Amino acid sequence: AYNFNPGPAALPLEVLQQAQEEFVDFQGIGMSIMEISHRSKQYEQVNDEAQSLVKELLGVPAGYQVLFLQGGASTQFAMIPMNFLPQGKAAGYVLTGSWADKAYTEAKGIGETYVAATGEAGGFRSIPAVSDIEARPGSAYVHLTSNETIAGSQFAAYPDTGSVPLIGDFSSDIMCRPVDVSKFSLLYAGAQKNLGPSGVTLVIVSDELLGQASKGVPTMLRYDTHSKTKSLYNTPPVYSVYIMNLVLKWIKGKGGLEGMEQFNRDKTKLIYDAIDGSGGFYQGLVDANSRSLMNITFALGSEELEKKFIQESEKEGFVGLKGHRDVGHMRASTYNAVPYESCKALADFMNEFRQRNG
Residue closer to ligand PLP by CB (options 159, 281) is 159
Q: Is 230 helix (H, G, I), strand (E, B) or coil?
A: coil
Main-chain phi, psi angles of 246, to 5 degrees? -65, -40
74 is in an annotated binding site: yes
Number of H helices, E strands in the chain: 10, 14
Strands (E), 149-281: 153-154, 166-169, 186-190, 201-206
Residue 250 is a catalytic residue: no
Closest CB 81 distance from ligand PLP, rounded Å:
15
Do you find a cis peptide bond into 237, omega within 30 degrees of 0?
no
Residue 25 is a catalytic residue: no
Shortest CA distance to 83 belongs to which of 233, 216, 231, 183?
216
Give the total of residues touching ligand PLP (CB under 6 A): 11
169 is in an annotated binding site: yes
Which 156-185 residues touch ligand PLP, going by CB under 6 A?
169, 171-172
Closest CB 152 distance from ligand PLP, rounded Å:
11
73 is in an annotated binding site: yes
Q: Provide the greatest CA pair distance for the chain.
A: 63
Residue 228 is a catalytic residue: no
The answer to whether the beta carbons of residues 330 and 341 sit under 8 Å apart is no
Closest CB 193 distance from ligand PLP, rounded Å:
7
Residue closer to ligand PLP by CB (options 241, 270) is 241
Residue 93 to residue 134: CA distance in whole angstroms: 9
Q: Is 99 in the site for ligand PLP (CB under 6 A)?
A: yes
Residue closer to ligand PLP by CB (options 110, 345) is 110
Closest CB 340 distance from ligand PLP, rounded Å:
23
Shortest CA distance to 54 belongs to which of 195, 237, 228?
195
101 is in an annotated binding site: no
> What is the H or E stretch that residue 290 is in?
none
Residues 277-316 as x/- pattern, contact with ligand PLP by CB under 6 A = ----------------------------------------
**CA dist 12 → 6, 51, 61, 179, 276 (Å):** 15, 20, 28, 22, 29
- Cβ neighbour number for residue 19 with a 10 Å cutoff: 17
Which 127-156 residues touch ligand PLP, going by CB under 6 A?
145, 149
Closest CB 58 distance from ligand PLP, rounded Å:
17
222 is in an annotated binding site: no
The answer to whether the beta carbons of residues 211 and 64 sit under 8 Å apart is no
The answer to whether the beta carbons of residues 116 and 133 sit under 8 Å apart is yes
Dihedral class, residue 37 (left if φ above 0, else alpha if ψ from -120 to 50, else beta) = beta
Q: Which of 169, 173, 267, 322 is catalytic?
A: 169
Residue closer to ligand PLP by CB (options 170, 318) is 170
Residue 115 to residue 132: CA distance in whole angstroms: 11
Q: Is 298 helix (H, G, I), strand (E, B) or coil?
A: strand
Which 17-76 residues touch ligand PLP, going by CB under 6 A?
72-74
Q: Is 334 in the site for ligand PLP (CB under 6 A)?
A: no
Shortest CA distance to 144 belongs to which of 113, 111, 166, 112?
166
Q: Is 96 in the site for ligand PLP (CB under 6 A)?
A: no
Closest CB 72 distance from ligand PLP, rounded Å:
3
Closest CB 294 distance from ligand PLP, rounded Å:
9
Q: Which of 99, 173, 249, 267 is catalytic?
A: 99
219 is in an annotated binding site: no
250 is in an annotated binding site: no
Residues 188-227 as x/- pattern, contact with ligand PLP by CB under 6 A = --x-------------------------------------
Q: Which of 173, 193, 249, 267 is catalytic?
A: 193
- Which residues here bind ligand PLP, judged by CB under 6 A? 7, 72-74, 99, 145, 149, 169, 171-172, 190
Show binding-site residues for L-glutamate.
Answer: 39
The catalytic site residues sit at 99, 169, 193
Show binding-site residues.
Answer: 39, 73-74, 99, 149, 169, 192, 234-235
